[in-house]
Amino acid sequence: MGKGKVYLVGAGPGDPGLFTLRGRELMEQAEVVIYDYLANEELLKLAPPQAEKIYVGKKGGDHTVPQKGINEILVEKGRDHRVVRLKGGDPFVFGRGGEEAQELVAHGIPFEVVPGVTAAVAVPAYAGIPLSHRDYTASMAFVTGHEREDSEDSKIEWEKLATAVGTLVFFMGVKNLPEICANLMSHGRSPETPVAVIRWGTTPEQRTVVGVLEDIAERVREAQLKPPAITVVGEVVRLRSELNWFEARPLYGRSIVITRAREQASDFKAVLADLGAHCIEFPTIEIAPPPSWEPLDASIGRLSVYDWIIFTSVNGVRCFMERLAAAGMDVRDLKGIRVAAIGPATAEALGRQGLKPDLVPREYKAEAVLEGLSGEDLNGRRFLMPRAMVARDILPDTLRQRGAKVDVVPAYQTMLPLARSGEILERLRAGAIDCVTFTSSSTVSNFFSLFNREEILPLLRSVTIASIGPITSRTVEEHGLKIDIQPRDYTIKGLADAIRDHYAGSGK
């Protein structure tokens, strides 16, 4: 017998935040991941880079790999590898997990089942529909809306189901919705029974159509609602008008492009997503080490000569501290040196290292540091500035004009990543992007370098442009666009708040 094992893991209903801790643990240890159409691809990032990833999704009857083929892959890979079979929702709730487990048993391959949050519960909850409520019903049933195509006999006993259960949840029933409604009504369910059909529930693309049994099929057709969707039938659907929380968030339905470096995008993305936005990561900057660590290491080796260290970014703090540790030193070696931080995020990064900055200027730009030092005699003072390899020189140049000695050393460099420009172009042409955000001049310049200017500019003029601050805004304007959103506080939080307020006020 081989050394392999297969884990049938429920990926949950779509929102990656609903993935289980056990699922995460197994994904991080996976050698092979076999995943479905309904499994959020964000979860694939949890797997080791070297893990083999095999897509076997089934979409609208189009099977990338038929079930027989999936079973064969599970057996082949499961003999000698640690396999995660990532299945949308829960593997044992209309997910064919039972069939796949039987196949593994037949071939003597050990397996484990990791339940997932089923769409039957999560999707209605995100649509503001509790499946049970003391004032409405005390019973529920989960039903497939798409039975086996190789069987002529239905396993649904409509005459019993129609009136015996308060809340009915149908999986995969959009195509057969007219027949489902007709069967329920012909077997005694009132035509006025409320119904909700929820597409891509728990994700930013969630859409909900509400009606009653006698008209819901027509409403869904008019709304052009396509699979995948969950259908909820019952009086509890009436509670949606009161309890709809997910779709009521201020940025719900807005598609926002984040051009920030992938390493730094997570905080910004989390804030926007919490406000309901669909965030499209399109990093136009990649943070990389400088060509040589020698200049920074040499400066660290003579730290005692410096009066000030000025940090202009979180990346500068991180890289400086890493090189400090590499030299066998720590924050205690900064004793007697004053520290300045441009921006609260940079100050917070220093705080996490146990350092309280001596200067955090009112405005989050280099010129404000000069204002903060205006009362000091800088003649002969020595400054160290660990920063990006290419950056504005106004601060070091002005300090030198005031008699200071300034060592500007590269702590990191920004590079142009391999970006998915084709995907962004396609979305812009389809009108599927509401807002593009820029958090530095580099993100702007790099963004435009990835596109044909004559092609991209007309598409962007119908999109909201959000800039973190005046310097970035100036660069945007130099490229021929106007700024729609600029926060008072030039911070990520300030930018997110400004985007929220813009849409709340404009209604666009």
Residue 59, pLDDT > 80, answer no
Question: Do 157 and 213 touch, CB atoms closer than 8 A?
Answer: no
The percent of residues above 70 in pLDDT, for the chain, comes to: 94
> Which pLDDT tens digit goes with each residue over 125-145?
999 999 999 999 999 999 988
Residue 179, pLDDT > 60, answer yes
Give the pLDDT of residue 442. Answer: 86
Give the pLDDT of residue 39. Answer: 87
Q: Which region among 66-75, 330-339, 362-371 has the lowest average model confidence (pLDDT)?
A: 362-371
In whole angstroms, give the CA distance from residue 272 to residue 258: 10
Give the pLDDT of residue 307. Answer: 96
> Which pLDDT tens digit goes with each residue over 414-429?
888 776 688 899 999 9
Q: Is 154 left (phi over 0), alpha (psi -120 to 50) or beta?
A: beta
Give the pLDDT of residue 178. Answer: 95
Give the pLDDT of residue 7. Answer: 98
Give the pLDDT of residue 55. Answer: 94
Give the pLDDT of residue 61. Answer: 54
Between 344 and 48, whose confidence is greater?
48
Give the pLDDT of residue 1. Answer: 53
Q: Average pLDDT, stretch 309-316?
A: 92
What separation in angstroms does the CA of 5 have from each of 22, 102, 194? Answer: 15, 14, 45
Query: What residue has token string 């189901």?
Result: 161
In whole angstroms, give the CA distance from residue 409 to residue 414: 14
Query: What residue has token string 């442009």?
Result: 465
Give the pLDDT of residue 128. Answer: 98
Give the pLDDT of residue 370. Answer: 76
The percent of residues above 90 in pLDDT, for the chain, comes to: 75
- Contacts for 275 with CB less than 8 Å, ≥ 6 apart: 249, 250, 251, 496, 499, 500
In whole angstroms, give the CA distance from residue 333 to residue 416: 35
Q: Which region among 190-199, 209-218, 451-460 has the lowest average model confidence (pLDDT)?
A: 451-460
CA angle centred on 483, ends 348 and 501, rounded to 5°: 65
Q: Average pLDDT, stretch 478-494?
A: 93
Between 366 and 276, whose confidence is greater?
276
Residue 166, pLDDT > 60, answer yes
In whole angstroms, give the CA distance from residue 280 to residue 447: 14
For the chain, the distance separating the N- and C-terminal CA atoms, rounded to the nearest angstrom, is: 62
Query: What residue has token string 């049938």?
Result: 8
Residue 250, pLDDT > 90, answer yes
- Contacts for 347 with CB less than 8 Å, ≥ 6 apart: 341, 357, 360
Query: What residue has token string 């990093």?
Result: 283
Residue 104, pLDDT > 80, answer yes
In whole angstroms, give the CA distance from residue 283 to residue 447: 9
Task: Indicate which residues carry an active-site annotation.
Answer: 36, 58, 172
> Is the Cα torsion angle 412, 418, 421, 424 positive or negative in sign?
negative
441-449 helix and 470-478 helix, angle to the nearest 10 degrees: 20
Residue 345, pLDDT > 90, answer no
Give the pLDDT of residue 152. Answer: 59
Q: Average pLDDT, stretch 30-51?
A: 93
Residue 505, pLDDT > 90, answer no
In whole angstroms, give the CA distance from residue 296 to residue 409: 6
Q: Average pLDDT, stretch 156-182?
A: 94
Residue 366: band (very low, low, confident or very high) from pLDDT cuts 50, 70, 90: low
